[in-house]
Amino acid sequence: MLARTSFVFLFLSMTACSSASTSSSSGGQHTGVDGVAFSKYCTGTLLHEMPLMTEQAGEGWAGTGSLQSPSGTDFLLSDEFQEWQGYVIQDDGTPAKISTFNGLVQGTDFSSSCAPSTIPDQFTANLVLLTDTTLYPKMDLSGTACTLPAGLALTNYEILGGSPVTVSAAEITAKCGATTMYAKDFATGQLLNK
């Protein structure tokens, strides 16, 4: 069961969206989606330029509108909060969330060959790591580090936002040997299989 601080996450996302500029200047470099790590997940293609938000500590996203993703950018499609959302993977491997107040509109904001015509129940999506993520056994982010790869789907997970983020999942136990671990950042998205 997901036990994250959804209110903080939603508030940060909504605040960033409402303050995002719609200027046409592009900032940052975007590869869109890493073909290997995310090859089994559904993608979309932006039909116009969109502002992006970067990950903040404690699982939030924020942006000023200065970071833009141009039309034609491929992105990972997400169905969070019963709205189409999306994530762009930047050249350095860091994820950025497409900034939109009311969700993306299929046919207006993006096209996709794998997206269903209606938004599915968000619980049918996979909770997926959006970037390589380093975890530590101690809350002060010390001890033997364990890194999970981008594109890994998590099951039986619990995530508590904050600083640091407290996480547990079957895949974390299998790879790191501990039930609960801690991370500075823990960027995830509810991604759909192709």
Domains defined along the chain, listed by start: 6-119 (no CATH), 124-191 (2.30.30)
Check whether 30 has a pLDDT greater than 50.
no
Under the banding of pLDDT at 50, 70 and 90, the label for residue 84 is very high
pTM value is 0.79
Which tops the pLDDT comparison, 53 or 23? 53
Quick one: pLDDT at residue 36?
A: 81
**Cβ neighbours of 76 (radius 10 Å):** 27
In percent, the amount of the chain with pLDDT more than 90 equals: 58
Under the banding of pLDDT at 50, 70 and 90, the label for residue 173 is very high
Check whether 141 has a pLDDT greater than 90.
yes
Parallel/antiparallel/unpaired status of strands 68-69 and 60-62 = unpaired
Which of the residue ranges 20-24, 115-119, 173-177 would you say has the lowest mean pLDDT? Answer: 20-24
Distance of CA 98 to the CA centre of its chain: 9
Quick one: pLDDT at residue 42?
A: 94
Quick one: pLDDT at residue 26?
A: 36
Q: Give the pLDDT mean for 180-191.
A: 93
Q: Give the pLDDT mean for 106-130.
A: 88
Q: Give the pLDDT mean for 41-50.
A: 96
Write down how long the chain is.
Answer: 194
Check whether 67 has a pLDDT greater than 90.
no
Region of residue 107 (left: phi > 0; alpha: psi -120 to 50; beta: else) = left
Check whether 184 has a pLDDT greater than 60.
yes
The secondary element (H helix, E strand) that includes residue 14 is helix 6-19
Give the mean pLDDT of the chain.
81
Under the banding of pLDDT at 50, 70 and 90, the label for residue 55 is confident
Quick one: pLDDT at residue 122?
A: 63
Amino acid at 75: F
Which tops the pLDDT comparison, 117 or 21? 117
The secondary element (H helix, E strand) that includes residue 74 is strand 74-78
**Contact partners, residue 167, CB within 8 Å, separation at least 6:** 135, 157, 158, 159, 160, 180, 181, 182, 183, 186
